Structure 1
Amino acid sequence: MIKVKAIVYLILCVFQIGLIHSQATEIRGKVTASSDIDRIHVINKTANKFTITNDNGEFLITASVNDTILISAIQYKPMEVLVTSQMIQSKFVSVKLNDKITELDEVVVGKVLTGDLRSDIENSDAKANLNFYDLGIPGYTGKPKTQSERRLHEATTGGGIVPLNPILNWISGRTKKLKAQLARENIDNAMKKTMSSLSEMLFNIDNLEPSKRVEFFYFVTDDANFLPLSKTNNDLKMLEFLQQKLQAFKSQIEDN
């Protein structure tokens, strides 16, 4: 009888351990770091779940035992955490991130400063920039336009009762050409921004050989949804979009 009870107890223990390992549980987490701890990306690479931290560095994410959770932000070194049965039971995980530091050789440029502000200002060659306020004339104080934006503005504006400049540029097709050039520049800038902020995280989740990565991002920009999505500054939605496009890109490569 004692032997039967021992066997039953052993079976129940094995069943309970198996249940813990297979059960998906919502885990509460806390990220600590040297500075900003809000909007840090938290990704369950195994279950393909995403979330971000709040202002206090806290997050909630669904996970099971042996899932891999990636915590990543541009200013910190990425960290991977393997979910253990203890984490599932306590429903809590704490993560400390380390700064991503780029070390530079010490360089001394110009005069050595003493630390005394008044003395350093007097000994320096620094001069205040001359601007239109100093000259007493009106000036543009908005966001500086790019060269393409300035050209388009010049092509579509003009004086007089009937401004000829916009009409001539429209007839000649110059306005259409400048608009297309500006649109392409906006897409390229959005692509560079997306590559800088999300490529490391994306390829940690689903790898792609480095020689194909730039080609992939050009493939992404051909989708009409890319530019509007990039303007929302929603990293989670953009990451999901990139993952979908990556699967389509890989299928296209395989077909070729």
Structure 2
Amino acid sequence: MKRLSVFLLFNVLPFALYGQSIELSGRVSGATDVENIHVINKTQQLFTITDKNGRFNILAKLNDTLAFSSIQHQPKEVVVSGNIIKEKVMFVFLEEQINKLDEVVVGKVLTGNLMSDIENIDGNRPINFFDVGIPGYTGKPATQSERRLAQAGEFKPIMLLGLLGGSMPLDPLINTISGRTKMLKNRVELEEREALMQRVKSRLAKDFFLSNPLDDDLKMDFFYFCADDEHFIKYCKNKTDFEILIFLRKKYRQYKENLSTNKK
């Protein structure tokens, strides 16, 4: 009986564990930045991202397929082996993604030295506001709707004090009463949602749908469904990929439930 117990402990039990999911600790290395690399368990539809040191943790079992991808690296898939399950660790090296173009020489050859190349280029440099000694705006250019909203102004109660001096601005008051300011605010928010949704889609759609399958004709509709959420900007603007993916996964479950309800 004792021999049988030892046999089961060292021979049968490990194979039984191989069929269960365990948490793997991994590290990605490469020639370029290894932070925010997408790690997707395609078999179990799980995902995570690496930290600044390339480390990650993810649930997996024997023969699961883990996919690694980022803009800077070539995609790579790793099948979880028995040795990985036994050690509960894995190391992955990603090769740099290099987009090679045919060499074409047009005009003068640039050396890479900015000041030297500027001197070698024919033509006059365009004059900017620094050249004439006036202040200028160097931030993000405003959209047409943002410019119109700024021109419309926003009425504030403190502006009523201007009546005492006879200099109260009328445009903000008129635009507030007529509803134009509110309409312009809504338009600016819609444009911000659309732009943010397109950025999220272009950056995360490919990896997200690897672990959350959806018909091609529904993928664009899904992202509009996400953008319609009142908390979309809060959860997706200036957030990490991991935080955005959590939000998308929550909306994905809601979207699938809606599809099932509509089919009934």
- TM-score band (shorter)? 0.7 to 0.9
Cα deviation, residue 22, structure 1: 2.7
Counterpart Cα distance in 2 of 1:214 and 1:116: 41
Tell me the equivalent position of 1:210: 216
- Of 236, 240, 246, which residue of structure 2 is paired with 1:230? 236
Q: Give the SS at the match of 2:68.
A: strand
Counterpart Cα distance in 2 of 1:162 and 1:203: 55
Cα deviation, residue 12, structure 1: 5.5
Tell me the equivalent position of 1:98: 95
- Of 235, 245, 256, which residue of structure 2 is paired with 1:250? 256
Change (3 A) 1:116 1:102: closer
Counterpart Cα distance in 2 of 1:116 and 1:219: 46
Q: Give the SS at the match of 1:135.
A: coil
* Aligned partners of 1:132 and 1:139 also within 8 Å: yes
- More displaced 10-residue stretch of structure 1: 21-30 or 169-178: 21-30
Tell me the equivalent position of 1:53: 50
- Number of positions where the alignment pairs a residue of Structure 1 with one of Structure 2: 252
Counterpart Cα distance in 2 of 1:185 and 1:61: 36
Q: Give the SS at the match of 1:66.
A: coil
Q: What does the per-residue CA deviation read over 1:91-137, in whole Å, with 9 as the maximum and x for residues that have no partner?
A: 2212122333444444444x132749687544422533312222222
Q: Percent identity?
A: 41
Q: What does the per-residue CA deviation read over 1:204-251, in whole Å, with 9 as the maximum and x for residues that have no partner?
A: 112212222111111111111211101241322321221232233233
Q: What does the per-residue CA deviation read over 1:36-88, in whole Å, with 9 as the maximum and x for residues that have no partner?
A: 11121223334454432222222233322222222222222332221111001
Counterpart Cα distance in 2 of 1:8 and 1:50: 38
Tell me the equivalent position of 1:169: 175
Q: Confirm whether residue 86 of structure 1 aligns to residue 83 of structure 2.
A: yes
| 1:231 partner amino acid | K
* Aligned partners of 2:24 and 2:58 also within 8 Å: yes
Tell me the equivalent position of 1:112: 108
- Of 37, 41, 58, which residue of structure 2 is paired with 1:40? 37
* Aligned partners of 2:226 and 2:251 also within 8 Å: yes
Gapped regions of structure 1 (runs ≥ 5): none
Counterpart Cα distance in 2 of 1:56 and 1:234: 16
Counterpart Cα distance in 2 of 1:234 and 1:27: 22
| 2:75 partner amino acid | P
Query: Alpha carbon RMSD of aligned pairs, Å?
Result: 3.0
Counterpart Cα distance in 1 of 2:127 and 2:112: 26
Counterpart Cα distance in 1 of 2:110 and 2:190: 49
Structure with the bigger RCO (C-alpha within 8 Å, sep 6+) is 2
Counterpart Cα distance in 1 of 2:112 and 2:50: 42
- More displaced 10-residue stretch of structure 1: 181-190 or 135-144: 135-144
- More displaced 10-residue stretch of structure 1: 186-195 or 45-54: 45-54
The normalised TM-score by structure 1 is 0.83
* Aligned partners of 1:68 and 1:83 also within 8 Å: yes
